[in-house]
Amino acid sequence: MLFVCRANLCRSAMAERLARTLGLDAASAGTHAVPGLEMPEHARTVLREHGADPEGFTSRRVVPSLLLGASLILTATRAERAHCVTLAPVTAARTFTLRQYARYAAAVPDGPLTLREVGAVRGRLQPGKPADDDLEDPFGGPIEGFRVCAETIADILRPLASRL
């Protein structure tokens, strides 16, 4: 699973590390990332509060090979989803915003989630509004914004972890 946001410093970085605490194989990247940067201190603090390990993380830019190698691509916003699909069009069926995927997964009957089932729901449900699909970027803001972002991510990943 690959998480993608803009800079790969906050949203996708926290999603990667939170997913790992749930036993998921996760990586992250950013559409406009400057490679090699560390997460902001607020992101590291919030990850520790969630029992996740922020150590050793550095940002990286999303490239087609990362996308092609990912079984599932979850982005922070619709714009980042569009960027990923433009870089690797063959990944369109397995690329969702994080919130979009959670909404579709909730509509799939209990049991393991497959891309086929989630894709079928994608075709049946009304598209969400940007506010329904986009995860706000806490970068540059107070720690409370990071806490809200991390909790939103964790609330989405917890029920998905046993189904993926």
Backbone angles phi, psi at 55, to 5 degrees: -65, 145
What confidence score (pLDDT) does residue 20 get?
98
Question: Residue 77 sits in which domain range?
Answer: 2-161
52 or 131, which is more confident: 52
Residue bearing tokens 């870089």: 87
Query: Could you read off the pLDDT of 56-114 as tens digits, one per residue?
Result: 999 999 999 999 999 999 999 999 999 999 999 999 999 999 999 999 999 998 888 99
Q: How many domains does the chain have?
A: 1
Query: Which CATH number covers residue 14?
Result: 3.40.50.2300
Among left, alpha and beta (phi > 0; psi -120 to 50; other), residue 140 is: left
pTM to 2 decimals?
Answer: 0.96
What confidence score (pLDDT) does residue 32 get?
98
Q: Rounded CA gap, 116 and 4, in Å? A: 22
